[in-house]
Structure 1
Amino acid sequence: MANQEKSLDKNLDQYKVKPNSKFSLSSIQPNDKSERSDSKAKDALALEKLAVEINALQDILHAQAKHKVLLILQGMDASGKDGTVKHVFSECDPLGIRLASFKAPSADELAHDYLWRVHSQVPKKGEIVIFNRSHYEDVLIVKVHDWIDEAECKRRFAQINDFERMLTETGTLVIKCFLHISKEEQKVRMQERLDDPTKTWKFNPGDLNERAVWSKYMVAYENALQATSTSYAPWYVVPADSKTNRNLLISRLLLNALKSLKLEYPSVPAEYKKISIED
């Protein structure tokens, strides 16, 4: 088992943005399918097995009420943030799991600092929280559209690093995943949303405006990943053109992280052992 876990660590490490190192998104191809096997049936079975294992550990996490887990999902439109949640947590009891989505800030949120609305959503003890988009919107979309300058962007990188260090130092395990989709695959998925009446509700015409500045987003993501991948909260770049590859990789990342916590059910109080339930 130890050798298997060491092998898993090495396999996952190739997707990690190394802290304090030069990083280029071109080093990881969005159409990479190395997590997949030669069979769809095998992949489905592997994903189901991972989901069952995640569920078992999440049950202990919730019962123990000691650790906190934050899974951050960032990516361009149609990169699969919703689909990731659906498949990775397919076997989990909703108890102890919470999803937080971050849209355009409200007037009240804008009246506070940009991390205010985020801090209120971080996990409590025994909880897994998934961020569908996150505080990274405040160094991505705002920089792409020049709503903040380079100096402010760098200040926010430093503030985010401090924020995440505080979270980890107070017992939160932070897993950050950038869902790396190609522009070509995004086009396919957006067209599917338009062509399929069951998916059209997902289409937002405003997404086309963001697609038009794709290259600026890639630069913004590259800068953000390099500046905020730390030893305590590293980024993982997840090839996401293949939905199955994406789901398998993130499932393995989460499972490996949960295993690292050495979770245990709470010990049974001595007095409970003397209790006998009468008819």
Structure 2
Amino acid sequence: MGHHIDQEWSELTQLTSSDDIPSETSVILGAPELGKKEAKKIRRRAVKRLVALQEALYAQATDGVLVVLQGLDTAGKDGTIRAVFGGVNPQGVKVHGFKVPTPDEAAHDYLYRIHQAVPARGEIGVFNRSHYEDLIVPLATKKMTEKAFMTRIDEIHEFESYLLEQKITIVKLYLHVSYEEQGRRLLSRLKNPEKHWKFSPNDLTTREHFSSFSEAYRRIIPATSFDELPWHIIPADQRWYRNSVASSIVTEAVAALAPHAPEIDIAHIAKIRDELTTELNDSNY
């Protein structure tokens, strides 16, 4: 696992302008070869396919899918959710954002609020940030001991493995944005009054610690890219590329479950159809 991920991070470094990049996992790269026009076509095809797959997943209700989105500020988590799930029936997709824990949440273990938001079988759940914040933040701010770090890694592995046993497929996406692109996006928010609501002074605080948070991801991603639960690292400086790759990964994950609507008694349906047709004809509707 480690060698494979190291190689991919090395390739990722060449695709971005930042030196402060994490360091291992599973990814789909190829941004230089994939043009913007083709990438958008790929995304549209993937989303169209996902719409049908999600309907079948919902009807079958034997498996669930959990998409975990992580990334530094401005990496495009919200945009990715819109691009991938914008056309999907909202009845079968639930999005949860995890910010600073409320007093009630903080009074419980860190997985308490996460487990409550896990999708049911038949649903697709999307986590905008996740239980990984409880590793990233304390590690980046140096508020976690090495022993606590390793313990939490084991806990997360057990938690995710349990979800797999319960037929919840987990897709983990890390959106990597470079330091330079992050700066441009923050500046764009400040220049556009319609985007002021997205800006927070905390964004600048996090930016000041860009290297610390990147280093935290450098440790966390390889440590939690388990054989059956890999991370997918997506270069996110180009929105069109990010959206294309994310939609493809999610769609393939759902397709791998081969969802299909439950079989029904055709003769029974035909009988009801004929009776209803006769009733409508007799009533002159």
TM (norm. structure 1) is: 0.88
Q: Using the TM superposition, give the Cα deviation of residue 101 of structure 1 relative to its aligned residue in structure 2, in angstroms.
A: 0.4
Residue type of the partner of 1:212?
E
The 2-side partners of 1:35 and 1:134 are apart by: 30
What is the RMSD of the two structures over their aligned residues, measured on CA atoms? Answer: 1.8
Asked whether the equivalents of residues 36 and 43 of structure 1 are also in contact (C-alpha less than 8 Å), the reply is no
Equivalent residue runs for 1:72-151 within 5 Å: 72-151=68-147
Give the structure 1 partner of residue 12 of structure 2: 28
Give the structure 2 partner of residue 205 of structure 1: 201
The 2-side partners of 1:197 and 1:161 are apart by: 43
Equivalent residue runs for 1:156-235 within 5 Å: 156-235=152-231
Asked whether the equivalents of residues 43 and 245 of structure 2 are also in contact (C-alpha less than 8 Å), the reply is no
The 1-side partners of 2:168 and 2:109 are apart by: 22
Provide closer, same or farther for how the CA distance between residues 231 and 274 of structure 1 changes in structure 2, counting only shifts above 3 A. Answer: farther
List, as ranges, runs of 4+ consecutive aligned residues in structure 1 with deviation greater than 6 Å: 19-22
The 1-side partners of 2:191 and 2:129 are apart by: 26
> Which one has a larger percent helix, Structure 1 or Structure 2?
2
Residue type of the partner of 1:146?
K
Provide closer, same or farther for how the CA distance between residues 197 and 226 of structure 1 changes in structure 2, counting only shifts above 3 A. Answer: same
Asked whether the equivalents of residues 42 and 248 of structure 2 are also in contact (C-alpha less than 8 Å), the reply is no
Equivalent residue runs for 1:253-268 within 5 Å: 253-268=249-264
* Secondary structure, aligned partner of 2:90: coil
Provide closer, same or farther for how the CA distance between residues 20 and 34 of structure 1 changes in structure 2, counting only shifts above 3 A. Answer: closer
Instruction: Give CA deviations for 1:90-126 in whole Å, capped at 9, x if unaligned.
Output: 2211110000000000111111100001000001010
* Secondary structure, aligned partner of 1:129: strand
The size of the alignment, in residue pairs, is 261
Q: Using the TM superposition, give the Cα deviation of residue 21 of structure 1 relative to its aligned residue in structure 2, in angstroms.
A: 6.5
The 1-side partners of 2:3 and 2:46 are apart by: 32
Residue type of the partner of 2:178?
S
The 2-side partners of 1:36 and 1:236 are apart by: 19
Asked whether the equivalents of residues 40 and 244 of structure 2 are also in contact (C-alpha less than 8 Å), the reply is no
Q: Using the TM superposition, give the Cα deviation of residue 259 of structure 1 relative to its aligned residue in structure 2, in angstroms.
A: 1.3
Q: Using the TM superposition, give the Cα deviation of residue 210 of structure 1 relative to its aligned residue in structure 2, in angstroms.
A: 1.1
Q: Using the TM superposition, give the Cα deviation of residue 243 of structure 1 relative to its aligned residue in structure 2, in angstroms.
A: 0.5
Q: Using the TM superposition, give the Cα deviation of residue 50 of structure 1 relative to its aligned residue in structure 2, in angstroms.
A: 1.4
Range 29-38 or range 97-106, more displaced: 29-38
Provide closer, same or farther for how the CA distance between residues 139 and 239 of structure 1 changes in structure 2, counting only shifts above 3 A. Answer: same
Asked whether the equivalents of residues 143 and 220 of structure 1 are also in contact (C-alpha less than 8 Å), the reply is yes
Residue type of the partner of 2:104?
D
Give the structure 2 partner of residue 272 of structure 1: 269
Asked whether the equivalents of residues 114 and 135 of structure 1 are also in contact (C-alpha less than 8 Å), the reply is yes
Gaps of 5+ in 2: 17-28, 281-285
Give the structure 1 partner of residue 245 of structure 2: 249
Asked whether the equivalents of residues 65 and 125 of structure 1 are also in contact (C-alpha less than 8 Å), the reply is yes
The 2-side partners of 1:132 and 1:163 are apart by: 18
Residue type of the partner of 2:47?
A
Give the structure 2 partner of residue 7 of structure 1: none
Identical residues among aligned pairs (%): 36
Q: Using the TM superposition, give the Cα deviation of residue 187 of structure 1 relative to its aligned residue in structure 2, in angstroms.
A: 0.2
Asked whether the equivalents of residues 39 and 240 of structure 2 are also in contact (C-alpha less than 8 Å), the reply is yes
Range 22-31 or range 250-259, more displaced: 22-31
Asked whether the equivalents of residues 175 and 254 of structure 1 are also in contact (C-alpha less than 8 Å), the reply is yes
Q: Using the TM superposition, give the Cα deviation of residue 232 of structure 1 relative to its aligned residue in structure 2, in angstroms.
A: 1.9
Give the structure 2 partner of residue 50 of structure 1: 46
Instruction: Give CA deviations for 1:109-164 in whole Å, capped at 9, x if unaligned.
Output: 11110000100000101000000000000000112112222211111011001100
Give the structure 2 partner of residue 10 of structure 1: none
Gaps of 5+ in 1: 1-17
Asked whether the equivalents of residues 33 and 239 of structure 1 are also in contact (C-alpha less than 8 Å), the reply is no
Equivalent residue runs for 1:8-27 within 5 Å: 18=1, 23=6, 25-27=9-11
Q: Using the TM superposition, give the Cα deviation of residue 19 of structure 1 relative to its aligned residue in structure 2, in angstroms.
A: 6.2
TM (norm. structure 2) is: 0.86
Residue type of the partner of 2:31?
S
The 1-side partners of 2:171 and 2:32 are apart by: 19
